[in-house]
Chain A
Amino acid sequence: MSFSFSRRDFLKTAAALPAWMLAPEAPRDFLPRFAFFSPKGQEPRANILVCIFLRGGMDGLHAVIPHGDADYYRLRPRLAIPEPSPGNDRTGIDLDGFFGLHPSMRPLKDLWDDKGLAFVHAAGSPNPTRSHFDAMDYMERGTPGDKQVATGWLARHLQFAAHENGSPFRVVGFGAALPSSLRGPIPAIALRSIADFHLGGRYRGEVEQFQNMISSMYASDAALGERADFTLDAVQLLQSVVVSKYQPANKAQYPDSEFGQSLMQVAQLIKAQIGVEVAAVDLGGWDTHITQGQFSGDMPNLLADLSAALAAFYLDLGDMMKRVTVTAMSEFGRRAIENGGLGTDHGHGNVMMVLGKSINGGRVFGQWPGLSNEKLVGPGDLAITTDFRSVLGELVSKHLQNPFLDQVFPNFTDYQPLGIADNIST
């Protein structure tokens, strides 16, 4: 049975319903069963992917440390995290006898033990560029070395996904601008704050007439018209379903950072069941050329923020994490050897993260190439043994059940799934 309500149909109906009826706490019996709403007692059809981009080149060797590799300590005499030693919080947190977490990532240890967290090490984009902007661009297009493909990989996934979903909230990017992974024919919401996502600004008067007039003025503009309509629809829908004061479940505590608050709002949108399938969130600041910080400082602070926010999200969503998967990536890793400023320069291979309750967690996937001089590539960087598209491709095909991998990652002939998403039930 297939519902294919258009976005407009939905909005017309939703607007006619009182807000309490569409609010998350409303008794589900009264909810209309749109394609993207959960019919009573059943899981909604589309699984959800939350994609986190760590901008600036996250140092995967400082986050998930290869404490079993002696070369790691040789290359980073002043920066390396000592081998795990239980009870000593200035050492790594052991994962599997070879890899360990930076101590600032302690909040993620519970997820690891719960088998809700997996890593892929020595992963990344095969293109050798060490330019932030090219590397990000290639990764977000999903086409290393090719700038001819104009759309982003997440946008192409949505374009070719098999199911119906007319919600304007199908894909949401957090921040003032949209990440280029979302650039494509399916319009994406750019959202900074749910609380501010309404028309009126500081004006407290009646805005309905303004809204109608804005809509009519934009109707004739070729470039902006559709975007304006879409924006007004989204504002209207969000107002009808989202309560202003959000209370996370299970006493989850999100950090007060912009990233923490963004992830909390992703959780809020997912729970509001307004058809979110893909959310993209950025966390920047990883370009740690100097004083990146061994135990404290810039990078440990970022790792702590990232870990606390992810742990809160996992706790808040509870069993919904069976159909929500989170992945985190960065444009490249950093040089294996530390530099003179107690930092690291641009590198190549890196670690990727996958979180969820239907993944094959509690494992570090991928083949470790080693850090001996002859194994390093380019100016002295971790080699890549897993193409990032193999990781994302597995999530697309198994978790999101999109069979058109060749459309999502065109010209990618070396797809080798690692078994991260094997536990996902369809």
Chain B
Amino acid sequence: MKKISRRDFLKLSGFASTLTLLWGCAPGAASTAVDLSVTLPPAEHDLFLFNALKRIGLGPTPADMESIQASGFEAYVDSQLAYEQIDDSAATGRLSKFETLNMPVKELAALASPTQPVFELIQAAMIRAVYSPRQLYERMVQFWTDHFNIYILKNQVRFLKTGDDRDVIRPNALGNFHSLLSASMRSPAMMVYLDNASSTKDRPNENYARELLELHTLGVDGGYTQEDILDVARALTGWSVTGRRAMDNAGEFTFRRYAHDDGAKRILGVEFPAGQGMEDGEQLARMLAEHSATARFIAYKLVRHFLTDTPPAGLVDKVSQTFQSSRGDIREVLRSIFFSEEFKTSLGAGKLKKPVEFVASAARQLGIETEFDRPMFRLIQAMGQVPFFWPAPNGYPDVGAAWLNTNDLLARWNFALSIATGSVRGADVDLSWLAGLPEPEVVDELSIRLLGFILPSELRANVLGALASISGVPPETSACALLLASPYFQYR
């Protein structure tokens, strides 16, 4: 594939439609709101790359822009996929104070404070999203965390999720889907969350079996029956966790042969002979990971995540084929998404940021220094997306309609006002680089930093008018609050 420059991109999508996409209007309904008299961003500020970064990562910093401009789009994607080679000390350095992240499960279970692992894991998730240069990797960690969602406040999960995050999701987020699935099937947190830990041959528990098919692999329309669910549950009887009753030894994966139903099973038309023991589950994992319905379901969810709430069927097909031909190689699957024409033409259009994405992008693009302790936690909580707090196994919704409501908008505006004015303890915004500049320059510099372009002229004039009338805070503070609260900043 050839490299795409900004000029090519403009040619590709047409000047007017590029602007339309820029303003974040819904496709089809947008042309009315476009102001063509807008000043273009400075030439060196490549809007295509800026918009690509908004999708690949969690908010383009000036350093990200330098990096992608130096290497070009494709090389940047490849370098992000090779995440192990990116120095991560910017994030890991901030995590060293969280002692529970690397604790073995025995120690986690024995902690005096039952909520310490919960809050450290939440803080770590936010810190990594904001400060790690491995941006695509962290985005994929978030994606799989929701795909294999585990509610952290359920019983022993509060200390088991640490291991799921560390040993299941993070090592496999850009690896192979079968490995990820197999690891998740052995995850003590998952076994407890969806009750497989107590599933026995006499009374198999269907909870995990059902969600394994419906949410983790085939999808609800993946062609399985209630009988398939029962036999999946039987196949996984005995896949459990050590010491569930004796808390002193809680939390390692174990296979309890005496609890396993060793009879023959028939799942999705395939025979599972009697006497296979743990191989039942291994065979099941291979079968599900290779199933075409799984490929399609994962492809659909990934395209929805990276492009649009209404994924184009053609691209889903293509990505699904890549998933199958690469045998679930997540990097190959992502390449087929990022290097598609559909990805390029979708840029700039309305994919609403989820609250965590909104907060992370504000923090990254403004260079906010925070450890995400209580005051920041409260703000995220008000928006309804504390990491690991979604109680149902389907994970936080990944479409805008689920978030776009009065509570969400108000909470975003309040975040913008609170953070820009420095009213949030433990979250410092440094706007001194704008102090003393004339107001038009303040607005333009901040627009480029946060939105990637200069505001349409009429709006720019309105913002400047507002700055003059807002007393009590410096213009850069007001401008920052307004731009963070603006509709443009709600999209990625």
Residues of A within 8 A of B (CB): 55-56, 130-134, 173, 175-178, 183, 188-192, 196-197, 199-207, 209-210, 212-214, 216-218, 220-225, 227-228, 230-231, 234-235, 284-285, 287, 289-290, 339-341, 343, 345-346, 378-379
Would you give the shortest CB distance from B397 to chain A, in whole angstroms?
7
A230 and B406 form a contact (CB under 8 A): yes
A220 and B459 form a contact (CB under 8 A): yes
Task: Find chain A residues with CB under 8 A from B340 CB.
Answer: none
B195 and A290 form a contact (CB under 8 A): yes
Between A132, A183, A188, A217, the greatest number of chain B beta carbons within 10 A of the residue's beta carbon is seen for A217
In the complex where A131-B210, A201-B417, A224-B404 touch, is A209 in contact with B459 (Cβ < 8 A)?
Answer: no
A340 and B205 form a contact (CB under 8 A): yes
B406 and A290 form a contact (CB under 8 A): no
Fill in one digit per residue for B53-75: 1 if any A CB lies within 8 Å of its CB, else 0.
Answer: 00000000000000000000000
Give the CA-CA distance A177 to B400 in the complex, in Å: 11
B404 and A223 form a contact (CB under 8 A): yes
Give the CA-CA distance A234 to B382 in the complex, in Å: 17
Which one of A188, A204, A221 lies within 8 Å of B25 (CB-CB)? Answer: A221
Residues of B within 8 A of A (CB): 23-26, 29-30, 32-33, 194-195, 198-200, 202-207, 210, 214, 220, 226, 230, 350, 352, 375, 379, 382-385, 391-394, 397, 400-410, 413-415, 417-418, 421, 423-424, 459, 462-463, 466, 469-473, 478, 481-482, 485-487, 490
Task: Find chain A residues with CB under 8 A from B403 CB.
Answer: 177
A345 and B207 form a contact (CB under 8 A): yes
Give the CA-CA distance A134 to B226 in the complex, in Å: 14
27 contacts between A and B (CB under 8 A): A56-B392, A131-B214, A175-B407, A176-B407, A177-B408, A183-B401, A191-B406, A192-B382, A200-B414, A201-B417, A201-B418, A204-B423, A205-B421, A207-B417, A209-B466, A210-B466, A213-B462, A216-B462, A217-B462, A221-B25, A223-B350, A224-B409, A228-B487, A285-B391, A290-B205, A341-B195, A341-B198
Which one of B26, B203, B230 lies within 8 Å of A223 (CB-CB)? Answer: B26
A199 and B405 form a contact (CB under 8 A): no
Nearest-neighbor residue (CB-CB) of B386 within chain A: A176
Task: Find chain B residues with CB under 8 A from A133 CB.
Answer: 214, 220, 392, 394
Task: Find chain A residues with CB under 8 A from B469 CB.
Answer: 209
Task: Find chain B residues with CB under 8 A from A339 CB.
Answer: 203-205
Nearest-neighbor residue (CB-CB) of A218 within chain B: B487
**Majority-rule SS of A interface residues:** loop
Give the CA-CA distance A130 to B229 in the complex, in Å: 11
B418 and A379 form a contact (CB under 8 A): no
Give the CA-CA distance A214 to B415 in the complex, in Å: 13
A210 and B200 form a contact (CB under 8 A): no
B375 and A217 form a contact (CB under 8 A): no
Task: Find chain A residues with CB under 8 A from B207 CB.
Answer: 287, 289, 345-346
B384 and A224 form a contact (CB under 8 A): no
Task: Find chain B residues with CB under 8 A from A213 CB.
Answer: 462-463, 466, 482
In the complex where A209-B469, A216-B462, A285-B391 touch, is A201 in contact with B482 (Cβ < 8 A)?
Answer: no
Nearest-neighbor residue (CB-CB) of A206 within chain B: B472
Task: Find chain A residues with CB under 8 A from B415 CB.
Answer: 201
Give the CA-CA distance A51 to B146 in the complex, in Å: 28
Task: Find chain B residues with CB under 8 A from A284 CB.
Answer: 391-392
Q: Name the 7 nearest CB pairs between A and B, nearest first.
A: A176-B384, A340-B203, A201-B414, A190-B405, A341-B198, A201-B418, A190-B407
A341 and B33 form a contact (CB under 8 A): no
Task: Find chain A residues with CB under 8 A from B393 CB.
Answer: 132
B391 and A202 form a contact (CB under 8 A): no
Nearest-neighbor residue (CB-CB) of B422 within chain A: A203
Give the CA-CA distance A212 to B195 in the complex, in Å: 51
In the complex where A205-B472, A209-B469, A228-B409 touch, is A134 in contact with B198 (Cβ < 8 A)?
Answer: no
A190 and B408 form a contact (CB under 8 A): yes
Give the CA-CA distance A230 to B408 in the complex, in Å: 13
Would you give the shortest CB distance from B369 to chain A, in whole angstroms?
17
Give the CA-CA distance A133 to B379 in the complex, in Å: 28
In the complex where A131-B210, A210-B481 touch, is A189 in contact with B406 (Cβ < 8 A)?
Answer: yes
Task: Find chain A residues with CB under 8 A from B472 CB.
Answer: 205-206
Known: A218-B486, A227-B405, A231-B410. 9 other contacts (CB 8 A): A133-B394, A134-B220, A177-B408, A190-B405, A192-B382, A222-B30, A228-B409, A340-B205, A379-B226
Would you give the shortest CB distance from A143 to chain B, in whole angstroms?
16
Give the CA-CA distance A108 to B478 in the complex, in Å: 52
Give the CA-CA distance A196 to B485 in the complex, in Å: 17
Nearest-neighbor residue (CB-CB) of A335 within chain B: B206
Nearest-neighbor residue (CB-CB) of A235 within chain B: B410
Nearest-neighbor residue (CB-CB) of B383 within chain A: A176
Give the CA-CA distance A192 to B407 in the complex, in Å: 7
A290 and B198 form a contact (CB under 8 A): yes
Nearest-neighbor residue (CB-CB) of A209 within chain B: B470
A234 and B406 form a contact (CB under 8 A): yes
Nearest-neighbor residue (CB-CB) of B406 within chain A: A231
B405 and A214 form a contact (CB under 8 A): no
Would you give the shortest CB distance from A54 to chain B, in whole angstroms?
13
Nearest-neighbor residue (CB-CB) of B392 within chain A: A132
Give the CA-CA distance A290 to B415 in the complex, in Å: 39
Give the CA-CA distance A343 to B407 in the complex, in Å: 36
Nearest-neighbor residue (CB-CB) of A187 within chain B: B406
Would you give the shortest CB distance from A126 to chain B, in whole angstroms?
16
Task: Find chain A residues with CB under 8 A from B402 CB.
Answer: 177
A175 and B203 form a contact (CB under 8 A): no
Task: Find chain A residues with CB under 8 A from B206 CB.
Answer: 289, 345-346
